Copies of this chain bind each other. A is one copy, B any other.
Amino acid sequence: MICSDLNTPTLLLDKKKLMENINRMQSRADRLGVALRPHLKTLKSVDAAHALVYSGAKGITVSTLREADYFLEHGFSDITYAIGMIPSRLPEVARLMSLGADLKIMTDNLKVARAIASHANSSGIPFRVLIEIDCGDQRGGIQSDDEELIPIVECIDTSYASFEGVLTHAGHAYDVNSVSAIEAIAEQERYAAVHAATRIRCAGYEVSTISVGSTPTGLYANDLTGVTELRAGVYTVFDMDQQSRGVCEVENIALSVLSSVIGHNKTAGKILLDAGGLALSKDRGADVFRPEVGYGQICNVDGHAVTGLYVKGVSQEHGHVPVRNENDFKTFPIGSYLRILPIHACMTAAAYNSFYVIENDVIITEWKRINGW
């Protein structure tokens, strides 16, 4: 099967690039002496998870309990659910654990820790708990020097639940676009996690897991002394958001949307594609550093980027591509195919239930993925 056999818009995954990206991060983790626990929030695919574990990954990270359920059902039991726990989700966590999941959960809050401990004590479920540290991202997590840190550990540790360690995510590494700035944030990430762990150890508790990670910091950290594991997700396929930050090259992007040209608006100087906001997502994450990219980089159907052609506007089912000159209308006639490198792979992939896996311009297989909650 080749691209022109597919209905558009649809999602293509370049297997060679995927495996190169997977191996790149795995080599870094190996060299830095940490386990790699890839985040499956990007691909949400069992086949992708197999490729990651085959290449050396130890366990997986998920962003929803639906993902945990799906991966468990397909034989992946070592799972970290890296979103702040709420008490109403403990029964589902317990259910997954009873089915064999070695599921780690996370909190940054004393009241939630108490609820976990209470549920563990009353049910006998040995929840395994990580504490989330905010290393500067200002999303989830408490500060590594927060006075509640030790009370949370104590609350967990004195219950039937077990305290596993600390986890942080340098999401603010996406705010910069130089190697030196990423290196500095990687050190901030490492320091926050290790500092929290040191405080906890000094208070007399064992810390088994010290988990850090994001794609930029994973790729550019110089040193992860004290850290036990690295988590990252979008590095598996990359996207224009990462490219705009200097984290990858356009040629590394393994995910693309196959689209058909459905119109020529010659008065407005636009090619219209059947990939719009739903097919690409409305993420504009590359705007900060490469505003010209808009909603995606246009490639020929063979996957080579076309310089200067971007999806500059989207409506629900239309992508708007301003032409460079009249020749573009000839190069991309109505009905022709092209590919779009997405701005944010995690967002774009979520519009599809599968990837068509492509190798040397041939579709070799279809990998199912899940969505929703």
Binding site for B on A (CB under 8 A): 7-10, 41, 63-64, 83-88, 108-109, 111-112, 134, 138-143, 171, 260-265, 267-268, 270, 272, 274, 277-279, 281-284, 315-318, 320, 333-335, 344, 346-347, 350-353, 371-373
Tell me the nearest residue of chain B to A87, going by C-beta: B335
Taking the closest CB of chain B, its distance from the CB of A23, in whole angstroms, is 24
A83 to B317, CA, bound (A): 8
Interchain residue pairs A-B with the least CB separation, the first 8: A138-B268, A84-B263, A84-B262, A282-B282, A86-B335, A282-B283, A63-B317, A140-B263
Q: Which residue of B lies closest to A261 (CB)?
A: B86
Q: Which residues of B contact A64 (CB under 8 A)?
A: 317
Taking a contact as CB atoms under 8 Å apart, the answer to whether A350 and B278 are in contact is yes
Q: Which residues of B contact A8 (CB under 8 A)?
A: 373
| A174 closest partner in B (C-beta) | B315
Give A268's nearest chain B residue, CB to CB. B138
State whether B84 touches A140 (Cβ < 8 A).
Answer: no
Contact indicator A139/B265 (Cβ below 8 Å): yes
Which residue of B143, B270, B278 is within 8 Å of A138 (Cβ)? B270
Structural contact, B350 and A351, CB atoms closer than 8 A: yes
Q: Is B353 within 8 A of A318, CB to CB?
A: no
CB-based contact A265/B141 at 8 Å: yes
A278 surroundings in chain B (CB, below 8 A): 346-347, 350
Bound: A318/B64 CA distance, A = 11
A303, B348: Cα distance in complex, Å:
30
A87 surroundings in chain B (CB, below 8 A): 335
Contact A351–B372 (Cβ < 8 Å) = yes
